[in-house]
Structure formats: structure tokens, C-alpha cells
Structure 1
Amino acid sequence: MTQVFERVTTERLLLRAVHDSDVEAVFALHGDPETSRYSVSGPMRSLDAARKQLDVWLGDWSSRGIGYWGVERRDDPGVAVGFGGLRHKVIDGQQVLNLAYRFAPKAWGSGYATELARAALELAREHLPETPVVAVIHPENEASIRVATRLGMRLDRIIDHEGIPSRLYVPA
């Protein structure tokens, strides 16, 4: 199954398992105050923090065969414009696949988050149907809420996510 998720091509994007060389791109994206506006911990503060985050994601791939992707545009390979996809997580005591997406501001408004999320949902439905997919979204993150609803997800309930009341979306 690993190979099914490892490298996915959509109409405009290449979604690929993260790799060691992504550390600077992780820091650039997660260290940006604009892209981290809804992050509980705020912007990432160091390359070391990026390395630790990337190590978690690499661990997901090695232990589970699924994890967040590095996202590149097909017409500009080798340049990460975002990170996202699915990773196993426990929410309210239940094993789920958490759907997440974060893109560089230059990619905002392009529909890339919807394209990534649609591919992730289709793969999960086909290859991991027994594991529920959820999206945990900060209540003020209107762009992410629009992506989830565009994909046919619905608000299930409000949960406490790292001390923040957050919206939990599930496929309809």
C-alpha cells in the first residue's frame, strides 16, 4: 500500500512523500507568520524545530506507509509549494486519518488545497476505508473551512484541539 500513497499525480500537482531534503522548505512554510496564523504554537522558530517536525512526518511514512506529502507543481518540479495529506492520529480516543494542508502564500487562491485534499480523500476511501478521515480546522480559518465544505465534508462537532475549540469536519 505504501507505494499507492508515496507518489501521487493530480491534474496540476505532484504529491510525494516528504524526504530529508525538505527541512528548509518546512521551515520556510511553517516559520511564516502568515501561514501559521491559525497554528496553536505560532510560527516555527528554528531550523531545528523544522527538523523535528520533519522527523515526525518521516516516521509516519516509515512506520505506517502514509503521511504528509511535499507538494510541487507539475510545471515547476523540485520546488515545494506546500505540505499536506493524511496522517494517522488519535482524536477523542479514536484512530483517524487527519487531513491537513498548508501552502505558501504565493499558492493561495489556486485551488491546490482542494486538489490535494480531493486526491487524499479518494485514496483513503479506496485503500483505508476502515479508518475515518477528519479535518480539524481552527474556527477562524475560513479558507480551510471552504476547502472542506467544497469537498462535501460537514461539520461534525467542536473539539478541544491543543487547547483551542476547533471544528471537526468529516466526509458527508
Structure 2
Amino acid sequence: MTSPPAGAPAGSPAGPPARVETERLLLTAPVEADLAELHALHADPGVWRHLPSGRHAGPEQTRALVDGYRADWAAHGLGPWTVRPRGGGPVLGMGGCSLRHGLAWNVYYRLAPAAWGRGYAQEVVAQARRWAARLRPELPVVAYLLEHNEGSRRAAERAGLVLVHRGPDAGNPDPAAVRLVYADRPVDAALLAAFTA
């Protein structure tokens, strides 16, 4: 599933990673049949405790998000996955990498509260970084999150990403909100401006 074909050069893509299995998770590119469960995830107030204004008010909002991620898959060969238990079952969350501003892979993970604290985010991030490195190794992997979102911050740090920026969160309804940017390597001012403006 996640290994290159026999004889493939190290670091070469093994085809689109639209279905990947980790030790405990099944990661699949989102499809139409996932929409109801993905809307339930994104409409859950518990998921948005760190940013209540991000909660999805209706299924159209979730559809627009998922359509954007499906476009990432079509254009770049990688995007966020729908996350389920490896043996099948209900959606636990979404996560993966999408190409942002043509400058970096933005690693993303959003899990249902019942799935928090189990290390699932690390499994998703590890696969996202693995495939991003195979497809566009010259681009950094970046996580963009709010400082008070402790779980997201810990997930980024445990995944080996390093803090490269701390500053005000442009456009946040909370003027005291602080935005953190983590990356897998040093990044330049142009990238930081693109992610934080």
C-alpha cells in the first residue's frame, strides 16, 4: 500500500497515495460518500474549541472544503485523507498535506474529540510527510496552528516539526489570538508572509 514498487528508486513515488494503511488507521482520499460524516466532524463544536468561528454551519461549507481537497488530489497527487480505523468504521477525522501557495506542503489534521490523545495525528502526519517528500521533496512541510490549541501544537512537535514563527493571527475574530508556524526545515520570509498575512 504505502511502499514503492519493487525496484523503484529510493524516494520515487509509488503512484497516488489515495489509500494508505498505517498501524491503526485507514487513510483514503475523500469521496462523495464521506460527505455526511465529514460534515458531522466539521460541525462538531468540540472539534472547534480552539476556534469557534471555524465550525461549519451547513453541509455546503463542508462540501466546499472537501471539493478543494479533492482538487488538491487531482492537481498535485496528494491532499488530506479521510481517516478511519484500519479495519473500517466511522470517520475519526481528516488529515494530510495539501500544496499551499505553491511554496510548501501544509500539513493538516482534524480529529473528532473521541479520537484525541491516542497518537493518531502522528500517524497521519508521518504518512503526509512521507508522501510530500516523495512527490515534491524540495518543498518544506509546514503546520499552521493557534498557540492555545495544545493538542495540535503537541502533534506538530511530536512529528518533528520545529517552531519557525510566532505572531498575531491575521483575520482572527479574537485580537489576542497567536498564530504559530512549524516547519521541517528553515523557511524564508516570503513563505512566512504567505502563511501569516
Cα RMSD, aligned residues only: 1.9
1:170 is matched with 183
1:46 is matched with 58
Equivalent AA in structure 2 for residue 20 of structure 1:
E
Does 2:13 match 1:5? no
1:126 pairs, out of 114, 119, 134, with: 134
Encode CA deviations 1:79-107: one digit per residue, 9 max, x unaligned: 211101000112xxx61110010111111
Cα 1:161/1:59, change in 2 over 3 Å: farther
Cα 1:66/1:159, change in 2 over 3 Å: farther
1:70 is matched with 82
Q: Please list every run of 5 or more consecutive structure 1 residues that lacks an aligned counterpart in the other structure.
A: none
Equivalent AA in structure 1 for residue 129 of structure 2:
L
Q: Is the 8 A contact 2:97 2:108 kept in 1?
A: yes
Report the alpha carbon displacement of residue 18 of structure 1 after superposing the two structures with TM: 0.7
Encode CA deviations 1:130-151: one digit per residue, 9 max, x unaligned: 1111000111011111111112
Q: Is the 8 A contact 2:84 2:90 kept in 1?
A: yes
Report the alpha carbon displacement of residue 159 of structure 1 after superposing the two structures with TM: 5.2
Encode CA deviations 1:103-141: one digit per residue, 9 max, x unaligned: 111111111011111111122223321111100011101
Does 2:68 match 1:56? yes
Measured in 2, the distance between the counterparts of 1:31 and 1:162 equals 23
Equivalent AA in structure 2 for residue 170 of structure 1:
A
Select the structure of larger CA radius of gyration: 2
Measured in 2, the distance between the counterparts of 1:146 and 1:57 equals 24
Helix, strand or coil at the partner of 1:83: strand
Q: Is the 8 A contact 1:2 1:65 kept in 2?
A: no
Report the alpha carbon displacement of residue 37 of structure 1 after superposing the two structures with TM: 2.1
Cα 1:49/1:19, change in 2 over 3 Å: same
Equivalent AA in structure 2 for residue 62 of structure 1:
A
2:104 is matched with 96
2:90 is matched with 79
Q: How many residues align structurally?
A: 168
Q: Is the 8 A contact 2:16 2:77 kept in 1?
A: no
1:153 pairs, out of 155, 161, 177, with: 161
Q: Is the 8 A contact 1:6 1:17 kept in 2?
A: yes
Does 2:125 match 1:117? yes
Helix, strand or coil at the partner of 1:5: coil
Write 1 or 2 for the structure with the bigger share of strand. Answer: 1
Q: Please list every run of 5 or more consecutive structure 2 residues that lacks an aligned counterpart in the other structure.
A: 1-12, 173-177, 186-197
Helix, strand or coil at the partner of 1:79: coil
What is the TM-score of this pair, normalised by structure 2? 0.78
2:32 pairs, out of 1, 15, 20, with: 20
Task: Give the % identical residues.
Answer: 36
Q: Which moved more, 1:158-167 or 1:48-57?
A: 158-167
Helix, strand or coil at the partner of 1:3: coil
Q: Is the 8 A contact 1:33 1:42 kept in 2?
A: no
